Structure 1
Amino acid sequence: MSYDRTVRLDADFDTAVTAVRKAPADQGFGVLTEIDVRTILKAKLGHDMEDYLILGACNPSLAHQALQADRGIGLLLPCNVVVRRDGDTTLVQALGPNTMVTLSGLPALEPVAGDAAARLDAALAALT
């Protein structure tokens, strides 16, 4: 089972991050959190790695619908978007929304996952 949606961009990391902040917003997602994994691992462990940023994005309407079906579904909401360097390109990755349906087994989440997938796919397509 593929759990992610990934696009590869021929763009430098900073340009990709700027684009990723805009594309989900056009689909009703807001970026609420940011985790700079590279900086954290360097500061806490002295470990060097490629640029790696986790953006916590949320569409309040879709999150509300999913939480109405199952309060524990917050563990599986497709909210994280990863932007990371991969050689000379930048990858943008997000959890496939159908993963929450597959793992929870709740048919009530299917319409939410379908809507989220359409919006996520549009956001990712806008990047390429």
Structure 2
Amino acid sequence: MSYAHTITVALPYPEAVSRTREALSRQGFGVLSEIDVRATFEAKLGSDAGQGLGDYLILGVCNPALAQKALAADPDMGLLLPCNVVIRRGPDTGTTVIQTIDPQTMVQLSDAPAIAEVATDADHRLLAAMKELETA
């Protein structure tokens, strides 16, 4: 089972980040956390490590209504929240990769029947955001 949905877009990195945030927002997701992996690598490992990676942002996104349903059904689901969305661009590439976690992964890890419903809803929303980005 693949655990990610991945698209590649011909958008400059800053525009891909902005449009990703907007598309996710339209699907009811807010950004709870943000990790600039490149900046972290540069600060902790030196500029070569960051430059070698390229631009790499991890957004921790959450749809509060879906998160509430998931946690009510199985409190351990908090270990998988928020949903990660990665926006990355290598140092020598002309395209930007956008990835989301496949929420169906949760179904594989929980016996709670309500988790399947939450995962399907989250999956539809994340895929809708990705489709919007592909047509941008």
TM norm structure 2: 0.89
Paired AA for residue 110 in structure 2:
S
Say if 1:77 and 1:100, in contact at 8 Å, map to a contact too. Answer: no
2:127 maps to what in 1? 121
Q: Deviations over 1:9-35 (max 9, x none)?
A: 111111100101100000100112111
2:113 maps to what in 1? 107
Counterpart Cα distance in 1 of 2:99 and 2:111: 24
Identify the range of structure 1 (2-11 vs 84-93) with the bigger mean alpha-carbon deviation. Answer: 84-93
Structure 2: gaps of 5 or more residues: none
**Correspondences of 1:26-105 after superposition (within 5 Å):** 26-46=26-46, 47-48=49-50, 49-77=53-81, 79-86=83-90, 87-105=93-111
- Describe the shift of the 1:110–1:73 C-alpha distance in structure 2 as closer, same or farther (beyond 3 A): same
Any runs of at least 4 consecutive aligned residues in structure 1 with deviations exceeding 2 A, and if so which?
Answer: 103-108
Give 1:77 shift: 3.4
Counterpart Cα distance in 2 of 1:73 and 1:19: 28
Give 1:78 shift: 5.7
Number of residues paired by the alignment? 128
Say if 2:6 and 2:98, in contact at 8 Å, map to a contact too. Answer: yes
Q: Determine what percentage of the aligned residue pairs are the same residue.
A: 54
1:11 maps to what in 2? 11
Alignment root-mean-square deviation, CA: 1.2
Counterpart Cα distance in 2 of 1:4 and 1:56: 14
**Is the partner of 2:71 in helix, strand or coil?**
helix
Give 1:56 shift: 1.1
Counterpart Cα distance in 2 of 1:91 and 1:107: 33
Give 1:92 shift: 0.6
Counterpart Cα distance in 2 of 1:95 and 1:78: 10
Q: Deviations over 1:76-126 (max 9, x none)?
A: 236111000142211110110100001224332111011111111111111
1:23 maps to what in 2? 23
Counterpart Cα distance in 1 of 2:108 and 2:94: 34
